[in-house]
Structure 1
Amino acid sequence: MTGAGPGGGGDGSDGPSSPRTGRRLAAGVVLLGAMLALAGCSSVFGPGPVQEGDLAADPGEPYDWNRSADGYIEVNQGNFTSVYDVGNRTTGNREAGENFTIELYNRDALGTDQPIDPRALQFRYENGTRLRYQETDAGSTLVMLRDGEEIDVSDEKLAVSKSRRRTTVRLPTNETGKLAFTTPKNGKQVATPTFVEGSYEMVLPEGARIGLPILAQVQPTRSSAEMIDERVHVRWDSVSRARSVLVRYYLERDLFLFGGLVALMLIVGTAGAVYYYLQIRETVKRREEVGLDIDIEDDDGRDPPPGMG
């Protein structure tokens, strides 16, 4: 008979309710949660619903619909606004007779697509008529602004849905019109996938600069950059081969901070070098005083050590 007690010949495995199995299960859950967090998931069950209040938010300044660029991005202190020509879009559905859509997303540090939460979503037809969400007591509703009048229309004309990786916006037209929305940002960098092909223009905040490569970065290589009304306009004639556009900028005051830091490092480095040099001089002087530095060039090797002859 096979022993089943401690040290017996059983298989030695823990039962499903043993403490060891419980610890392994807990560790697995923690590891899964960490992987989801690194991947940028908002929850185990996927992203939350689209916030209607965000869709009806005020963009602050009116969108600039008249720019010639296929993708126009204006960077502000806490967000950036985007206006895209939907006829040149690279995502979504463009098949005739189907629901026309564009898919919006961003990429996290691991390169995984994550849905974005567009704010102040609007659409402008080629004739100037606009669609925008408006906050009411009953929630957000879609209205059409045409010739100074507001007309309630079905939300299906500009419906928004969100999946685990993409935010899908239904478009009222396929080949013409422009879509605009606002996206929050942190820091002094803007990176966004190229939702449309063609030309791009990005307007940086007042006081922002990109002239010092050690503090700034522009990808892909820009076609031009010029100052207009104290704001830098970065332009790309074509981004057809780029998956995204990225601009990291600095503020003018950052140059003074950077210059001060460099000066401080130079002062500290110089002081350290002087201190090191003085220490060497002091060591040499002490060796000479105790007679450790003895000239032995004329010593033929047969004389006894000093003081012994």
Structure 2
Amino acid sequence: MRRTLAIVGLVGLVFLAGCGGTAVDDAALNESAEYDWNTTEAVTITVEHSEYRYVYTLDDDSEVRLALRDELLGTQPVSISAVKFRYQNGTVANASALSVEEQNKHTVVTFPESAGQFAYTASSPARSLTVPVVTNRSHEVRLPPDMRISLPVFGGANPSGFESANQGERVVLTWSSIESDRIEVDYYQERDLLLFAGLLGVLVLVAGAGVAYYRSRLRRLQEERIAAGFGVDDER
């Protein structure tokens, strides 16, 4: 009987641990950041070279669950910082107005109201962006200044169906609606193409020099064989 109760208790603890959330670092959540609240899309993502700033206009939402699926690690929570909430009257509050927890491999953010705007900052690798989609409404991605996506292999965006426009130094991608669970963008700077072309040219020169050396060496061996009295056809 005691063993049965112990097992039941252990199962209960495991269940509660799975349902309960883990608090996120308050220092990171309360970091300072500037957000553009004057957006016309449901989600606006402004990308810098090592991070992105995310602004979401709520539509009767009580919470969002942020996670990305990794092929090796599985579902992983998105690490966020500089959390803000903008009330409908224009008042901007910091992380103390929201509840942020890691729960079941998701970062769960609970809002103080079901209307307003929620913003956060997250790290992003150079030349690429991967962001979870929490609504199928419109999205806008603003690339870093002087970055492009128009050349295949070097750049591109998923899902398809977006519009691209130049706004000052930035390329802006817009989706009127999204059915995917993520947005992925690869981008490049035009000087990257020059560097790649230069590297490719060096490789071509090295390869050409190698072929020329091989042919020269082969011709010299043939001449040495002939000089030694061996014909080219002697080995047949």
- In terms of fraction of residues, the more helix-rich structure is 2
Q: How far apart in 1 are the matches of 2:215 and 2:163?
A: 50
Q: 148, 171, 178: which one pairs with 2:117?
A: 178
How far has the Cα of 1:74 moved from its partner?
0.6
- In terms of fraction of residues, the more strand-rich structure is 2
SS at match of 1:278: helix
| Match runs of 1:105-254 below 5 Å | 105-110=67-72, 112-133=74-95, 142=96, 155=97, 158-174=98-114, 176-240=115-179, 242-254=180-192
Superimposed CA distance per residue, residues 139-166 of structure 1 (whole angstroms, 9 cap, x where no aligned partner): xxx4xxxxxxxxxxxx4xx222222411
TM-score normalised by the chain length of structure 1: 0.62
The equivalent residue for 2:227 is 289
Q: How far apart in 1 are the matches of 2:175 and 2:229?
A: 73
The equivalent residue for 2:4 is none
Superimposed CA distance per residue, residues 211-250 of structure 1 (whole angstroms, 9 cap, x where no aligned partner): 332222321125222222211212223212x111011222
Superimposed CA distance per residue, residues 102-147 of structure 1 (whole angstroms, 9 cap, x where no aligned partner): 11223334262222332121122344333324xxxxxxxx4xxxxx
Match of 2:110, as an amino acid?
Answer: R
How far has the Cα of 1:82 moved from its partner?
0.4
> Structure 1: 5+ residue runs without aligned partners?
1-45, 89-93, 95-99, 134-141, 143-154, 297-309
**Aligned Cα root-mean-square deviation (Å):** 2.5
1:78 is aligned to 2:50: yes
The equivalent residue for 2:14 is none
Q: How far apart in 2 are the matches of 1:215 and 1:254?
A: 9
SS at match of 1:87: coil
SS at match of 1:253: helix
How far has the Cα of 1:191 moved from its partner?
0.4
1:104 is aligned to 2:43: no
Q: How far apart in 1 are the matches of 2:150 and 2:48?
A: 19
How far has the Cα of 1:271 moved from its partner?
0.6
Match of 1:106, as an amino acid?
Answer: L
> Structure 2: 5+ residue runs without aligned partners?
1-19
Identity among equivalent pairs (%):
31
**8 Å contact from structure 1 (residues 81, 181) kept in 2:** yes
Superimposed CA distance per residue, residues 16-72 of structure 1 (whole angstroms, 9 cap, x where no aligned partner): xxxxxxxxxxxxxxxxxxxxxxxxxxxxxx99631222222111xx31122222221
Q: How far apart in 2 are the matches of 1:282 and 1:173?
A: 84
TM-score normalised by the chain length of structure 2: 0.79
Q: Report the count of equivalent residues.
A: 215
Q: How far apart in 1 are the matches of 2:82 and 2:232?
A: 85
The structure 1 segments of at least 4 consecutive aligned residues displaced by more than 4 Å after TM superposition are: none
Q: 27, 30, 41: which one pairs with 1:56?
A: 30
**8 Å contact from structure 2 (residues 141, 174) kept in 1:** yes
The equivalent residue for 2:210 is 272
| Match runs of 1:10-25 below 5 Å | none
**8 Å contact from structure 2 (residues 137, 177) kept in 1:** yes
Q: How far apart in 2 are the matches of 1:270 and 1:82?
A: 49
The equivalent residue for 2:7 is none
